[in-house]
Chain A
């Protein structure tokens, strides 16, 4: 990762990445973008944390899934590790709404007053759900709304987080795990695997004692606890939390020369990111792949309960290999993460390379492949878990198609723009589902091929 960066915020983010990489989370780089190498789990945790996303981190037990995001959250939000730990919830079958979201103040309740004691998890901006797939399916629904919008409701009270990011970790399937329900899965912006670092790096873990104490501050942790346990209004508590965070940030800077971010700085960074525009190719490519993941000629769109015929004309596209329709959250996640990546790399616009880098991770958990598509890939030589491998292969395949047809697709979209503005033109025709979607948007009745 380059150190040469003029923007002070960006330089701080690079510093945090390098600090965690060199001290806490030893792993190999497995992602190369614009000539720079990254570890995908670390990079995406950083971007998700900073830009208020939701990440699902999968992997074998003990490979640093939770640890890496705890450190990341501590530095990005200036929260001591002890406070982060207090806000974590663990997925297990006995977990309840009262432990996750909030509970009634029993003392007040006995006096006839209904007061909610909010959990640290629902109050803090860094939310970590450890081993989410150990939560039974019925209990996963408890956190759907909170995960999606930061709305946490209990009894007749509710809080809306002004900023938050969410990390959930999941081990691979074993006897104690459950399936993550599709609506919850879809709410994650991306999924990444925390990999084994290899025998050599693993041998270094614990030998050089990293200054883990840097992120602990017991006195401040107690103050955070006392502020979060108050009965004040949510906004007032968050102001006080920000003041304590400022103290923790100064402590990190003075004692360890470690950068961290105030609320104002995080907001400034997010504004910079939101200003990053997409070039025409990245706009078109995102539509190109979304069309393949949602289009179905015979039935109008993909639906999980309907399966297309073998002899379908469009059997060369992804739509023929998947079971369900991609959700509207997919393009939102892809856009947000590719803007975040462009911001981190100091680029003024999102291009195909940014988009291609983030797409497999935004798709891996969202695509439900048909059995025969899975059977074709599961024994392939690979370095990623099957879901991420298949998503990477799919993105590569669609990108190849885009490189062949991109010029004409862009023209078809430009023509459509003019037609939508009432110019007398004919829409361009082609085989790719996007041409058919364009024609549908222009109100044309499309006939079967």
Chain B
């Protein structure tokens, strides 16, 4: 077959290869330690959380069929399991000397790693959120515009006084149970954005998916793009689309 890349023969190639390959080469790096911790987590509570996240996503796709059904209990279970994993991570990463750059590298590594399946990556956002919240830095920037997988639960339980700026596509449950922090996503977020958030602010510069603001009890969500679906079971809090308030349905 014809080589369709000949026009690029003269472009120099660095010997760094894919970012994950570089990171994997250093077995003692904090990133490698964080990754090992995540793998251990997958043997325990994260495994069940992965199942719940998958199940919740599927339920969302079949929402048309399930019209009229009560808000599924398993969504609440998903949040409960996420909380359990979150507290587990907090303890598990105490001894690892990581910084913000390591969190960014970990995200890229997990996203591109052929060793982690799609299912194993489902709870990864809870892990990343716990790392962000456990970090001493108040303002954290994660620039990840070219991830192969988007992470669920980014900004989970982000506490007051903490700001997370995430550049890239966020997955389901973005900003879930936000506790007063400011989550800024430069990009879109998928379904269940701001679910059960208590206080604080979420800013999404592109679109959000279904059930934005579900079970929200306080705080503010601002979406600069379009909102595919607004929550029906919002208790309190404010949602703005392109600067205009969105009424409760």
- A residues sitting closer than 8 Å to B (CB atoms) are 278, 280, 283-284, 310-311, 313, 315-316, 372, 376, 404-405, 408, 410-411, 413-418, 420-421, 425-426, 428-432, 438, 441, 447-449
Contact = CB atoms under 8 A, between A and B. Distances in A.
Contacts of A426: 17-18, 21
Contacts of B47: none
A316, A415, A428, A431 — most chain B CB neighbours (10 Å):
A431
A316 B191 contact: no
Contacts of A414: 5, 8-13
A430 B118 CA distance: 16
Interface stretch (B86-94, B132-140, B141-149): B141-149
Contacts, number: 90
Interface of B: 3-14, 17-18, 20-21, 57, 61, 112, 118, 145-150, 169, 187-188, 190-191, 206-207, 209-210, 226, 228
Contacts of B14: 411
B18 A428 contact: yes
A418 B13 contact: yes
22 contacts: A278-B7, A283-B8, A284-B8, A310-B228, A311-B57, A311-B191, A311-B209, A313-B169, A372-B226, A404-B145, A413-B7, A414-B11, A417-B5, A417-B9, A418-B9, A425-B13, A425-B17, A429-B20, A429-B148, A430-B148, A431-B147, A431-B148
Given A311-B190, A313-B150, A431-B145, A410 B8 contact: yes
Contacts of B118: 447-449
Contacts of B228: 310
A284 to B, nearest CB: 7
B148 A449 contact: yes
A160 B6 CA distance: 34
Nearest to A372: B226
Contacts of A420: 3-5
A316 B187 contact: yes
A296 B185 CA distance: 25
A429 to B, nearest CB: 5
Nearest to B147: A431
Contact of A417 (B8, B145, B209, B226): B8
Q: Which 7 A-B pairs have the closest CB atoms?
A: A417-B5, A414-B11, A413-B8, A431-B146, A420-B3, A414-B8, A283-B7
B9 A432 contact: no
A318 to B, nearest CB: 14
Given A429-B148, A431-B148, A410 B11 contact: yes
A211 B108 CA distance: 67
